[in-house]
Amino acid sequence: MTASSSYSVCRLWDFITGKVRRDQETGVNATLPRRSGMPPRRPETSSYRLLSTYDMKFFAPIVSALAFLGAASAQSTYIGYPADGTTVKQGEQIVVQVVRPNSIQGSIEVGMVIGLQACEYPGSPGCYPPNQAVGNVLYNGRYDPVLHEMPGRPYENFTVTIPTGDYFVGKTQLSVDRFHLIGAGPAAALEFHNITLNVVA
Q: What is the pLDDT of residue 146?
A: 92
| Extended beta strands in the chain, E state | 78-81, 86-89, 93-99, 107-118, 136-141, 155-161, 170-182, 187-200
Residues 41 and 87 grouped into a single domain: no
Q: Are 80 and 132 in contact (CB under 8 A)?
A: no
Q: Range of 14's domain?
A: 3-71
Q: How many domains does the chain have?
A: 2
Residues 55 and 91 grouped into a single domain: no
The amino acid that residue 194 corresponds to is N
pLDDT at residue 13 tops 90:
no
pLDDT at residue 191 tops 70:
yes
Q: Are 88 and 115 in contact (CB under 8 A)?
A: no
Residues 61 and 86 grouped into a single domain: no
Q: Are 172 and 196 in contact (CB under 8 A)?
A: yes
Q: What is the pLDDT of residue 33?
A: 52
Q: What is the pLDDT of residue 34?
A: 52
> CA nearest 179: which of 200, 193, 163?
193
User: pLDDT per residue over 43-74, tens digit each?
Assistant: 444 444 455 665 555 544 443 444 444 444 44
Residues 17 and 82 grouped into a single domain: no
Q: How far apart, in whole angstroms, are the C-alpha atoms of residue 22 and residue 173?
A: 64
Last residue within a domain, chosen from 44, 71, 98: 71
Residues 63 and 87 grouped into a single domain: no
Q: What is the pLDDT of residue 52?
A: 60
Q: What is the pLDDT of residue 121?
A: 84
Residues 57 and 125 grouped into a single domain: no
Q: What is the pLDDT of residue 185?
A: 81
CA distances in angstroms from 166 to 8, 132, 170, 192, 199, listed in the order given? 88, 23, 10, 27, 11
Q: Are 195 and 117 in contact (CB under 8 A)?
A: no
Residues 38 and 129 grouped into a single domain: no
> Rounded to two decimals, what is the model's pTM?
0.63
Residues 183-194 have a mean pLDDT of: 91
Q: What is the pLDDT of residue 167?
A: 85
Residue 197 banded pLDDT, cuts 50, 70, 90: very high
Q: What is the pLDDT of residue 123?
A: 85
Q: How far apart, in whole angstroms, are the C-alpha atoms of residue 133 and residue 29?
A: 61
User: pLDDT per residue over 69-121, tens digit each?
Assistant: 444 444 689 999 999 999 999 999 999 999 998 876 678 999 999 999 999 88
DSSP state of 45: B
Q: Are 36 and 6 in contact (CB under 8 A)?
A: no
Residues 25 and 58 grouped into a single domain: yes
Residues 104 and 48 grouped into a single domain: no
Strand 187-200 to strand 86-89: parallel, antiparallel, or no bridges (unpaired)? Answer: parallel
Q: What is the pLDDT of residue 150?
A: 76
Q: What is the pLDDT of residue 47?
A: 44
